[in-house]
Amino acid sequence: MSAVVVGAAPGKVGAPEALAGIFWARFVRHRPAVISALMIALLGLASIFAGAIAMRDPLRIDMSHKFAPPLAKGHLLGADELGRDVLSRLLHAGRISLTVGFAAMAVTVIVGAVLGTLAGYVRGAVDTVLLRLTDAMLSFPPIFMLLALAAFVRPSLASMTVIIAVTSWMDVTRMVRGQILTLREQEFVTGARGLGASGARIMARHLLPNTVGIIAVAATLSVARAILLESYISFLGYGIQPPLASWGNMLNNAQSYFATAPWVAIFPGVMITLAVTSFNFLGDGLRDALDPRHVRSRS
Partner 1 sequence: MIDFDARPDDLRSTSRSLSRREILGLLAATGAGVMLTPIVRSGAVRAAETPRKGGQIVVALSQEPTVFNPVRPHIEVDRGVHFGLFDSLWRVDEKAQFLPNLAMEMPTVKNGGIQKNGLEYLVKLRKGVKWHDGKPFTSKDVKFTHELIMNPKFGAYSKVGHDQVASVETPDESTVRIRLKEPFAPFMTAWGDTYIVPAHILEGVADPNTAEFNTKSPIGTGPFKLGGRVAGDHLLLVANPGYHMGAPALERVIFKYIPDLTVLYTQFKGGAVDVTGMQGISSEFYSEAKSLPGVIIHPHYSPSVEYIYFNHGDPRFKERAVRQALYYAMDKKAIIDQVYYGLPKPVEGYLPPTSWAYNGELPKHEYNPDKAKQILEEAGWKAGSDGVRAKGGVRLSFTNATTAGNKLREQTQALVQQNWKAIGVDMQITNMPAAVIWGEYYVKSKFETLLVGIQASVGDDPDCLNRIHSKYIAAKTGSGRNVSQYENPTVDKLLEDGVREIDRAKRRAIYLKLQEVIRTDLAYLPIFSYVRIEGVKQGIVNYVPNSNTLTNTWNMHEWGWKA
Partner 2 sequence: MGVEGLKQYFARRVIQAVVVLGLVSLAGFSLLHLAPGGPAAIYALSPTMSAEDLDRITHELGLDRPIHVQYLSWAKGFLSGNWGRSYRDGRVVLEVIADRVPATVVLMLSAFSVALLLGLASGIVSAVRQYSLFDHLATLGAMVALSIPTFWLGLMAIYVFSELLHTLPPGNIGTVGAPFALADRLRHLILPAGTLGVVMVATWSRYTRAAMLDVIGEDYIRTARAKGVTQGRVILRHALRNALIPLVTLAGLQLPLVFSGALVTETIFTWPGMGRLFVDSIGYRDYPVLMGILVLTATLVILGNLVADLVYAAIDPRVRHS
Q: Which residues bind partner 1 (CB under 8 A)?
A: 59, 61, 63, 66, 81-82, 151-152, 154-155, 237-238, 241-243, 252-253, 255-257, 259-260
CA-CA distance, 11 to 163, in Å (whole number)?
39
For 55, phi and psi rounded to 5 degrees? 60, 15
d(CA 161, CA 63): 33
Distances (CA, A) of 132 to 2, 21, 143, 178, 268: 16, 39, 20, 15, 38
Q: Please, are residues 260 and 127 in contact by the beta-carbon 8 Å criterion?
A: no
Contact between 20 and 290 (Cβ < 8 Å): no
**Of partner 2, partner 1, none, which one does residue 34 interact with (CB within 5 to 8 Å by kind)?**
none
Q: Which does 253 bind (CB under 5 to 8 A by kind): partner 1, partner 2, none?
A: partner 1
Taking the least distance from each CB to partner 2, the nearer of 10 and 141 is: 141
Q: How far is the CB of 3 from partner 2 (least distance, A)?
A: 8
210, 183 contact by CB (below 8 A): yes
Residue-wise DSSP of 81-119: TTS-BHHHHHHHHHHHHHHHHHHHHHHHHHHHHHHHHHH
Residue 265: CB atoms within 10 A of its CB come to: 20
**Taking the complex as a whole, how short is the minimal distance between the CB of residue 168 and partner 1, in angstroms?**
23
Residue 104 CB, shortest distance to partner 1, in Å, is 21
Cβ atoms < 10 Å from Cβ of 183: 22
Nearer to partner 1, 139 or 260 (CB): 260
Q: How far is the CB of 184 from partner 1 (least distance, A)?
A: 46
Does 2 bind partner 2 (CB under 8 A)? Our answer is: yes
Closer by beta carbon to partner 2, 61 or else 136: 136
Residue 298 binds partner 2 (CB under 8 A): yes
Q: Is 231 in the site for partner 2 (CB under 8 A)?
A: yes
208 close to 4: Cβ distance less than 8 angstroms: no
Q: How far is CA 97 from CA 14, 52, 93, 227, in A?
A: 39, 19, 6, 6
Q: Which does 260 bind (CB under 5 to 8 A by kind): partner 1, partner 2, none?
A: partner 1
- Euclidean distance between CA atoms 92 and 58, whole angstroms: 7
Smaller CB separation from partner 1, 118 or 250 = 250
Contact pattern for partner 2 over residues 124 through 153, marking x by CB under 8 A: --------xx-xx-xxxxxxx--xxx-xxx
User: Cβ of residue 107: shortest distance to partner 1, in angstroms?
Assistant: 24
Under the criterion CB under 8 A, does residue 43 sit at the interface with partner 2?
no
CA–CA–CA angle 189, 190, 195 (5° rounding): 95
**Piece of the chain touching partner 2 by CB under 8 A; list 42-50, 88-96, 197-205, 265-273:** 265-273
Secondary structure class of 72 (helix, strand, coil) = strand
Give the Cα separation of 164 and 233 in Å (integer).
10
232 binds, among partner 2, partner 1, none (CB under 5 to 8 A by kind): partner 2
Which residues of the chain form contacts with partner 2 (CB under 8 A)?
Answer: 2-3, 32, 132-133, 135-136, 138-144, 147-149, 151-153, 224, 228, 231-232, 235-236, 248, 251, 255, 258-259, 262, 265-266, 269, 272-273, 276-277, 280-281, 284, 294, 296, 298-299
